[in-house]
Structure 1
Amino acid sequence: MGRSKEFEENEVLEKAMKLFWEQGYEKTSMNDLTEHMGIHRRSLYDTFVDKHTLYLKAMDRFGEQFVCSIINGIRHLQTAREALQFIFNSIIEGEPDAPSGCMMVNSAIELANRDPEIDARSRAAFERAEDILTDIVTWGQSNGEFTTRYEARELAEQLHNALLGLRVTVRTSLPKEKLKQMAEMSIRMIEK
């Protein structure tokens, strides 16, 4: 008879996600994972198969959490501009007890050019972000906040590009005030 799990899978996955997010895939060893997650190596393999599969699950978890936090954060805002400000500020301020930056961006930079599964997940996450931004820009165009000189998708792609740069830059020592100025300029560039 097999041993029962002595841990909550979602809790240890959360710990693995944060460690991968902070250190990256290659820098994170199996010993780092088992120590940080508080489980035995055998339990890690039994539950998550291997390091790569665990990383993919951690990416999925990050993506789900990020989208949920954005959607919940903008749900009750009154203007599209406020929604964009919320998204930019979420990136700049980060979350309590979480690494800075974005796990999807970090994964794309570190692994996408040589790992098709990481590339696919990164691209899917970026497309989802562009979909959300397209909806916000469409909202702003329909109520007269944003320019209609360009299609909503084109403006969303430009905003997403700015967000990608910001997600990398927040990992540096640049002052938050400068990051907020950069975010503000990105929003102002699409206003009427």
Structure 2
Amino acid sequence: MARLVEFDEEQAIQKAMEVFWKKGYAATSMRDLTDAMQINSSSLYNTIGDKHQLFIRCIKHYTKMRIRAVEQRYTNFASPIQALENFIKDAADIITTEPNSCMCVKATFEIEGDDPEIQVVVNAYDDFTHQLLKGLIENSQSQGEIDSSENADTIADYLTSVFIGWYNSFVLHKDRTKITNMAAFMIRQLRH
């Protein structure tokens, strides 16, 4: 009779996610994963699958965590422009203070769009972010806080593109002041 696999799968996914997040997909070995998850490789293969399947589960876990956090954070502001400004400040803060930055951005640069399964998960997260920003922008426009002659979709696309640019800039220069200055500039531009 086969031995039952006994481990907390969600906790194991969290631990594996942290390894992938820190090291990236290519640099992470199966040994790194099984050590972090505190399971043997046969348990991993029997319950979750191979490294690629585990990475997909980790990316999904990461995006679910982020979506929950964002939904909780940005629903309690007095005005949509305050929520939008805080989103921009938070993006700058995450980019410059979290040691591993955004797992989705890292995964996107590493896979370069060559993995359709991972791209689906990353695109869904990007779509969620876009819709959140677009909603905040439209609500700000309806309250006269942002110029209503500008297209909310375009502004949301612009913001997400800028955040990725900040990520690249910080990876290259490690200059927090540069990123926070750009965030302050962006906030001023939105109010014009």
- Output the TM-score relative to the length of structure 2: 0.89
Who is 1:22 aligned against?
Answer: 22
Who is 2:64 aligned against?
Answer: 64
Work out whether residues 14 and 58 of structure 2, in 8 Å CA contact, stay in contact via their aligned partners in 1: yes
Deviations 1:69-126 (A, max 9, x none): 111011111122321233233333339x964311111111110432122222222221
Tell me how far apart the structure 2 counterparts of residues 16 and 177 of structure 1 sit (CA, whole Å): 32
Amino acid at match of 2:31: N
1:92-111 aligned within 5 A: 92-94=92-94, 99-111=99-111
Gaps of 5+ in 1: none
How many residues align? The count is 191
Match of 1:94, SS state, is helix
Work out whether residues 134 and 152 of structure 2, in 8 Å CA contact, stay in contact via their aligned partners in 1: yes
> How far off is 1:128 after superposition?
1.5
Who is 2:52 aligned against?
Answer: 52
Work out whether residues 80 and 137 of structure 2, in 8 Å CA contact, stay in contact via their aligned partners in 1: yes
Would you tell me which structure has more helix in proportion to its own residues?
2
Work out whether residues 21 and 99 of structure 1, in 8 Å CA contact, stay in contact via their aligned partners in 2: no
CA spacing shift, 1:159–1:73, aligned 2, 3 Å: same
- Output the TM-score relative to the length of structure 1: 0.89
Amino acid at match of 2:60: D
Match of 2:190, SS state, is coil
Work out whether residues 20 and 55 of structure 1, in 8 Å CA contact, stay in contact via their aligned partners in 2: yes
Who is 2:185 aligned against?
Answer: 185
Work out whether residues 18 and 99 of structure 1, in 8 Å CA contact, stay in contact via their aligned partners in 2: no
Tell me how far apart the structure 2 counterparts of residues 168 and 7 of structure 1 sit (CA, whole Å): 38
Amino acid at match of 1:12: A
Gaps of 5+ in 2: none
Name the % identity: 28
Tell me how far apart the structure 2 counterparts of residues 185 and 5 of structure 1 sit (CA, whole Å): 53
Match of 1:20, SS state, is helix
Work out whether residues 170 and 179 of structure 2, in 8 Å CA contact, stay in contact via their aligned partners in 1: yes
Work out whether residues 18 and 98 of structure 1, in 8 Å CA contact, stay in contact via their aligned partners in 2: no
Amino acid at match of 1:56: I
Tell me how far apart the structure 2 counterparts of residues 146 and 102 of structure 1 sit (CA, whole Å): 28
Who is 1:118 aligned against?
Answer: 118
CA spacing shift, 1:4–1:50, aligned 2, 3 Å: same
| 1:3 aligned onto 2:3 | yes
> How far off is 1:149 after superposition?
2.1
CA spacing shift, 1:85–1:181, aligned 2, 3 Å: same
CA spacing shift, 1:107–1:31, aligned 2, 3 Å: same
Who is 1:136 aligned against?
Answer: 136
Match of 1:149, SS state, is coil
Amino acid at match of 2:178: K
Amino acid at match of 1:35: D
Work out whether residues 20 and 28 of structure 1, in 8 Å CA contact, stay in contact via their aligned partners in 2: yes
